[in-house]
């Protein structure tokens, strides 16, 4: 009996021991799994309970004009949210809030009275108003700060500057082109934080400070920019034009001193603007330049030796090429004319004569050397190349050689066009256009050095052509003249291509000129799209040039030409 009981007891002990053993093995296995297999994940999950990673936003670099005016910079705004459950009187709170944050009273009341746990009310509350709201000590409201982009001169520098979206990405213009340099690197604070997000005393904290973005100093002068913006705005109204552009460049360096296109948009509220306004017409839209292109044609003719200023050409009012008849703008014949007359009277037949005399290969060689048909490489986003058909590309016809000579059948950007004139002004040297003067970061400043692209025409040709352009202004474009200064320039009245031909209802009126002609400091392009008051460049664009130039010489302290001063005095 005792023996049987002992056996039973032993069996039970073995069972218990086995069960305990298995339990122990299971426990060990689970521990091993937690430690070895899931160790890193569980450790991370555990640290998440008491360690918080806070991303520290990097400040986006500020964009300054060359005279130190902030054009685009970061500011702080507040995000206002509500916990509707904690709001005692939604209607009363909505009444107090709605005048401050620009949200409708009824919408606010609805949000404050909703069943949601959390309701965002506004993410653009100015700091001053946020301070006022925080003094209410309203338990249902919560404020947090965020960075946003501010453009103090909204409308004046767009679309040149571009904009920055909610995700802090720069688009178009300077903001788009220099986005990587401007945005910086966000930092982080990793450590034991209390429930208010503050460091726990003696807690272990790792701080990775953000690296702010680089600041940009542009070549734009805020005074120049203001003058051309004001004049263009007035011109669009006066001439009832659809749109327009003005560019001011320094021929000797390639620096863009001012550039404006209207209509523009408000980058502080870009969401409300039409997307087509975001593109900068100066670099992103092509147009047929019209007669201003005759300067390029004449440069090719003079530099290749095909013509000289005194070369005489018999203008019959028509020019036949490959079955196409070219007419002058006034459909009249001028008889025997010199090449200077061709420029002064803007004769299409004369320009066709020059291009055909030069020959297609040479002519298009000069066109390419002046920078047409390829992007200029300016530091602005979304630049296009323009369109130039050349022999052998399958799209070119012989008649194009004639039509291209007076700016038809090819497409250029305003920037390409003004820089071709700037090359003439700069002794035949085409300069690399640029808009950022220096990039200033923690590592120091990187200054853009003026860079010549190529010698397009000889200095002698450039001087000869300049004299012809001076003559053209003196004889036919008095509205562009500035007392005390010698102006070299050319008008353009371009037709606007539409499918199947040209739009009979509108033109692009333009004028490009530089001054002082002997030692040019400024090269200015005026382009007015579809003016209704007058279609002609000489009547629309040239007077704007005169007004802009006469003000800019004062602002920039450009000394008058003594000869021109004397002539003006004698004229009196």
Does position 565 interact with other proteins (CB under 8 A)? The reply is yes
Instruction: Please identify, among the stretches 207-215, 242-250, 280-288, 562-570, the one whose residues bind other proteins according to the rule CB under 8 A.
Output: 562-570
The CA distance from 175 to 182, in Å, is: 8
* DSSP letters for 501-552: EEEEEEEEEEEEEEESTTS--EEEEEEEES-SS---HHHHHHHHHHHHHHHH
Q: Which of 286, 289, 228 is nearest to 260 (CA)?
A: 228
Does position 230 interact with other proteins (CB under 8 A)? The reply is yes
Instruction: Please identify, among the stretches 5-13, 219-227, 332-340, 534-542, the one whose residues bind other proteins according to the rule CB under 8 A.
Output: 219-227
Considering only 9, 35, 145, 505, the residue that binds other proteins (CB under 8 A) is: 145
Considering only 87, 108, 111, 153, the residue that binds other proteins (CB under 8 A) is: 153
The CA distance from 151 to 292, in Å, is: 35
Omega before residue 231 within 30° of 0, cis: no
Q: To the nearest whole angstrom, how small is the minimum distance from the Cβ of residue 539 to other proteins?
A: 22
Q: Which is nearer to other proteins, 69 or 110 (CB)?
A: 69
Does position 550 interact with other proteins (CB under 8 A)? The reply is yes
Q: In the stretch 248-267, what mask flags binding to other proteins with x, by CB under 8 A?
A: --------------------
For 360-410, the three-class secondary structure string (H helix, E strand, C coil) is HHHHHHHHHHCCCCCCCCCCCCCCCCCECCCCCCCCCCHHHHHHHHCCCCC
Q: To the nearest whole angstrom, how small is the minimum distance from the Cβ of residue 74 to other proteins?
A: 6
User: 342: helix, coil or strand?
Assistant: helix
Q: Which is nearer to other proteins, 22 or 75 (CB)?
A: 75
Query: Exposed e or buried b for every residue in 262-274, given b needs 16+ CB within 10 A?
Result: bbbbebeebeebe
Does position 216 interact with other proteins (CB under 8 A)? The reply is no
For the four alpha carbons of 324, 329, 334 and 337, in that order, the dihedral sign comes to: negative
Q: Which two tokens stand for residue 282?
A: 């100066």
Q: In the stretch 156-175, what mask flags binding to other proteins with x, by CB under 8 A?
A: x-------------------
Q: To the nearest whole angstrom, how small is the minimum distance from the Cβ of residue 21 to other proteins?
A: 46
Instruction: Answer for the pair 77, 148: CB distance below 8 angstroms, yes or no.
Output: yes
Enumerate residues 79-98 that contact other proteins by CB under 8 A: none
Enumerate residues 98-137 that contact other proteins by CB under 8 A: 126-128
Cα end-to-end distance, the chain, whole Å: 148
Other CB atoms within 10 Å distance of the CB of residue 42: 13
Considering only 60, 183, 189, 223, the residue that binds other proteins (CB under 8 A) is: 223
Q: Count residues contacting other proteins (CB under 8 A)?
A: 40
Does position 455 interact with other proteins (CB under 8 A)? The reply is no
Query: Which residues form the interface with other proteins (CB under 8 A)?
Result: 69-70, 73-76, 126-128, 145, 150, 152-153, 156, 198-199, 201-202, 222-223, 226, 229-230, 483-484, 550, 553-554, 557-562, 565-566, 568-569, 571-572
């Amino acid at each position: 009996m005792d023996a049987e009981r002992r056996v039973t007891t032993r069996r039970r002990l073995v069972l218990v021991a086995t069960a305990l053993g298995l339990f122990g093995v299971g426990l060990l296995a689970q521990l091993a799994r937690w430690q070895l297999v899931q160790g890193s994940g569980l450790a991370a999950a555990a640290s998440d309970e008491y360690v918080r990673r806070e991303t520290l936003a990097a400040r986006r670099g500020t964009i300054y004009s060359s005279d130190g005016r902030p054009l685009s910079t970061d500011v702080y705004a507040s995000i206002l949210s509500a916990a509707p459950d904690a709001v005692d009187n939604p209607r009363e709170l909505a009444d107090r809030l709605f005048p401050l944050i620009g949200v409708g009273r009824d919408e606010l009341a609805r949000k404050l009275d909703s069943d949601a746990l959390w309701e965002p009310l506004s993410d653009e509350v100015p700091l001053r108003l946020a301070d006022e709201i925080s003094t209410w000590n309203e338990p249902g409201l919560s404020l947090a700060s965020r960075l946003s982009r501010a453009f103090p001169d909204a409308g004046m520098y767009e679309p040149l500057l571009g904009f920055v979206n909610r995700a802090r990405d720069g688009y178009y213009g300077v903001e788009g082109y220099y986005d990587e340099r401007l945005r910086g690197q966000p930092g982080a604070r990793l450590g034991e934080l209390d429930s208010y997000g503050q460091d726990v005393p003696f807690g272990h904290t790792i701080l990775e400070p953000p690296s702010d973005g680089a600041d940009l100093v542009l070549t734009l002068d805020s005074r120049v920019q203001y003058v051309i913006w004001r004049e263009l705005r007035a011109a669009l109204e006066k001439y009832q034009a659809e749109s327009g552009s003005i560019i001011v460049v320094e021929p000797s360096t390639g620096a863009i001193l001012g550039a404006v296109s209207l209509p523009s948009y408000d980058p502080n509220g870009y969401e409300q603007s039409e997307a087509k306004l975001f593109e900068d017409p100066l670099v992103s839209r092509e147009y047929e330049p019209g007669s201003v292109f005759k300067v390029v044609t004449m440069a090719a003719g003079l530099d290749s030796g095909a013509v000289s200023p005194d070369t005489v050409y018999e203008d019959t009012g028509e020019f036949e090429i490959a079955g196409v008849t070219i007419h002058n703008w006034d459909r009249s014949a001028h008889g025997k004319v010199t090449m200077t007359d061709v420029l002064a009277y803007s004769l299409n037949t004369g320009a066709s004569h020059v291009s055909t005399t030069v020959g297609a290969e040479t002519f298009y060689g000069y066109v390419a050397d002046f920078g047409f048909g390829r992007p200029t490489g300016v530091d602005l986003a979304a630049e296009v190349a323009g369109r130039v058909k050349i022999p052998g590309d399958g799209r070119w016809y012989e008649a194009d050689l004639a039509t291209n000579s007076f700016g038809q059948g090819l497409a250029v950007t305003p920037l390409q066009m003004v820089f071709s004139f700037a090359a003439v002004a700069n002794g035949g040297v085409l300069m690399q256009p640029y808009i950022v003067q220096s990039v200033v970061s923690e590592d120091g400043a990187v200054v853009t050095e003026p860079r010549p692209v190529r010698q397009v025409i000889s200095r002698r040709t450039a001087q000869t052509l300049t004299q012809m352009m001076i003559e053209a202004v003196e004889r036919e474009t008095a509205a562009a003249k500035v007392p005390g200064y010698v102006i070299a320039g050319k008008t353009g009245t371009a037709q606007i291509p539409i499918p199947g031909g040209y739009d009979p209802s509108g033109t692009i009126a333009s004028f490009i000129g530089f001054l002082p002609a002997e030692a040019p400091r400024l090269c200015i392009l005026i382009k007015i799209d579809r003016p209704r008051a007058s279609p002609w460049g000489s009547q629309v664009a040239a007077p704007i040039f005169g007004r802009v130039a006469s003000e800019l010489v004062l602002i920039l302290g450009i000394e008058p030409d003594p000869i021109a001063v004397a002539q003006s005095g004698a004229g009196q």
